[in-house]
Amino acid sequence: MGERPYVIDELISAKTIAARIEALADEIETFFADSDKLIVVGLLRGSFVFIADLVRELTLPVEVDFIETSSYGEATVSSREVRILKDLRGEIAGRDVLVVEDIVDTGHTLKHVLHMLGGRKPARLKVCALLDKPSRREVEVKADWVGFEIPDEFVVGYGIDYAQHNRNLPHIGKVRFT
C-alpha cells in the first residue's frame, strides 16, 4: 500500500488552520473559564502538532498528557479493535479533561477512549477534534469542538500520516493515487 505512487493536493492551508485554532481556543477557554486546571490529553501520534498549537492559544492553566492507541497500520482502512498502547501518566478523577484528537473517522477510537476515561470520573470530559469525517461514522460519538468537517478523503499533514509519512507537512492535504 505504501508503495503505490501518490500526490498530495492541499485541502486546508496552514493559515486557515491557525485561524481556526484561535477560534476553537476562544470557545474552549470560555467553556472552561471557571476551571482551576485543564488536563489536555492528546491522542498520539496524529494530534501532536495540533495539541502543540492549541495549548499555546490557551491562557488557562493546563497540564498536558498523552494516550497512544493502536492505529490503522500501513493501510487506509480502520482496524476496528482499539488498543491502548500508552496510558495517561496522571490521574484525572475530579479534573477537567479535554481530549484532543486529529480525526474522528469511524469513531471507534474516540468512543473507546471516552469510555475508558469516563470510567475514571473526571469532573468534565470534552473533546476537540481537528477534523471530522461524519460520513464515515460507524459508532455514535461526537466531538464537542471540531476544526473542520471534511469529506471521505484520506488526508495527511499537520501531524497526520500515511504509513508514517507526511506528518511534517505544515498544511493538510488529501492523498491522490496516481
**Binding of ligand IMP by 41 (CB under 6 A):** no
From 105, 132, 144, 152, the catalytic residue: 105
DSSP 68-104: EE---TTSSS--S---EEE--SS--TTSEEEEEEEEE
Q: Minimum CB separation from ligand IMP for residue 15, in Å?
A: 21
Instruction: Tell me the number of residues near ligand IMP by CB under 6 A.
Output: 17
User: 504509513: which residue's cell?
Assistant: 163
Question: Closer CB to ligand IMP, residue 77 or residue 123?
Answer: 77
Pairing outcome for strands 172-177 and 6-12: antiparallel
75 CB contacts (<8 Å, ≥6 apart)? 1
Question: What are 10's strand-pairing partners?
Answer: 173
Q: Minimum CB separation from ligand IMP for residue 59, in Å?
A: 27
Query: Of the ranges 3-11, 17-25, 86-94, 96-104, which one interacts with ligand IMP (CB under 6 A)?
Result: 96-104
Q: What CA–CA distance (Å, rounded) separates 177 from 4? A: 7
**Binding of ligand IMP by 102 (CB under 6 A):** yes
Query: Of the ranges 15-23, 28-36, 105-113, 120-128, which one interacts with ligand IMP (CB under 6 A)?
Result: 105-113
Q: Minimum CB separation from ligand IMP for residue 123, in Å?
A: 25
Alpha carbon distance, N-terminus to C-terminus of the chain: 13
* Site residues, ligand IMP (CB under 6 A): 46, 71-72, 78, 101-110, 154-155, 160
Catalytic positions: 105
